[in-house]
Amino acid sequence: MTQLIRAPYLSLFPPTSALDDTMAIEIAPLAIPATADASKLAGFGVEIKGVNPGELTPEQFKEIEQLLYNHDVLLFRDVDLTPEQQYRLTKAFDPTSESYGHGNNKTEKTTKSILHPDLKTIPRQPQVQLIGNGTVYNHEGLAEAMLKHPSHTTFHKTQVSREDEEKGYTRFYRWHIDAALYDLSPPKVTTLYGIKVPKGHKQICRYDDGTGDELEVPLGTTAFVSGKLMFDLLPPELKSLAVRSKVKYAPHPYVWMAPTHAMPTGLGIETEGLELPLDQLPPWEESRRKTLPVVWKNPVTGNLHFQVHPCGAAELLVDPLPEGANHEGALYPDGAHITDLGTVRALLYKMQRPAIAPSLVYPHDWHERDLVVFHNRGVLHSVVGAFKPHQVRAFHQCNLAASDDPAGPTPEEVKKYA
């Protein structure tokens, strides 16, 4: 099932072997687990062989970029990648981007942010973060880094019981897009490089939302779902709502949500009135808040991806139906500005939950020296599972605040789906 793209390239580096002249990028579908609906996930994710992602020529990079936007998740195996190379690769997707997706070091200084304990910056390449579990010594200029794999037990309203955890049950931690969602634009890609990957038994990810849904996953998997599928699965009235809507995010959303609890699926926040009041947040300005379309247009395929970070969403702004549209069965035909958090969350959950069904999730089975590059504007992802303190895991993660905001659907597309 290996597909060859015949694309000889001009190497910027001195040829080291005769093979260089004939090398081609080789791609193969990702190994989709038995739990997944292969027909629905067809084309989602590819493994790329035959190139060194740390030293791509401009021609190779162009191919990789096309592959990313066409397949959303790229896997490279057995990769050696320095933090500098990872930064350069990430930056190549958005050459004028510069700072880490959450702002360099800002997250660490904002100690109230729920992201604070999860990220350690690589000193000489601060856009690259060390994430993982356990204590890592003498790592890229960090003498000692204590890492904690985030787990649902510190974030969800309810928890898997101790006994069930011992039996291997777990949950998705938080479905999200990598983005500050305040002031900065959502990164185009995220690169995740597995350096230390503890082996262990599979776990069963339980949804605990009354559906009985569960999914067997590799220990410490990163789970991905397609934002395109999330949109495509919607019935017509919700497609109409999605293409007409924008989400306004809370200011400093990760501080705002810090006192809250998540739903058992990790897909948004329970409405309990626990959000930090806006006057208790670090200083913020209305003009820096992010209002982004619900649906983002893929710059290469033109496909529409449902891209909402449900935890940070505060308001929905719905445009009225365009002229000539059929009002029958339409939701908010005259438009709306929905500020009630419970309503905002219920609408988003209704639209996003179908796409995290067990058969639609790609849980990546990490091996050491795997590099995963994902289209952060085309997928949602979640940390999954729980490690014991002695299970040391070390990953490098990089994403860069983008040079622009994502584009929404065109007026023609709004007309088509409205």
**Interface positions with Fe ion (CB under 5 A):** 178
The span from the CA of 392 to the CA of 375, in Å, is 27
CB of 51 to Fe ion, least distance (A): 25
Task: State the chain's maximal CA–CA distance in angstroms.
Answer: 66
Q: Which residue is nearest to Fe ion (CB)?
A: 178
CB of 414 to Fe ion, least distance (A): 30
Q: Output 102 or 239, the one with its CB closest to Fe ion.
A: 102
CB of 178 to Fe ion, least distance (A): 4
CB of 266 to Fe ion, least distance (A): 12
Q: How many CB atoms lie within 10 A of CB 302?
A: 10
Task: For residue 396, list its beta bridge partners.
Answer: 130, 193
Compute CA distances 102 → 116, 164, 176, 294, 399, whole Å. Answer: 11, 35, 14, 20, 9
The span from the CA of 156 to the CA of 114, in Å, is 13
Q: Output 223 or 341, the one with its CB closest to Fe ion.
A: 223
Q: Output 192 or 321, the one with its CB closest to Fe ion.
A: 192
Q: Output 178 or 275, the one with its CB closest to Fe ion.
A: 178
Q: Output 190 or 260, the one with its CB closest to Fe ion.
A: 190
CB of 131 to Fe ion, least distance (A): 9
- 322: helix, strand or coil: coil
Q: Output 71 or 176, the one with its CB closest to Fe ion.
A: 176
Beta strands in 126-249 (DSSP E): 128-139, 142-147, 169-170, 189-196, 203-206, 214-217, 222-226, 245-249
Those residues with Cβ within 8 angstroms of residue 162's Cβ, 6 or more apart along the chain or in another chain? none
* In contact, 375 and 69? CB cutoff 8 Å: yes
CB of 379 to Fe ion, least distance (A): 10
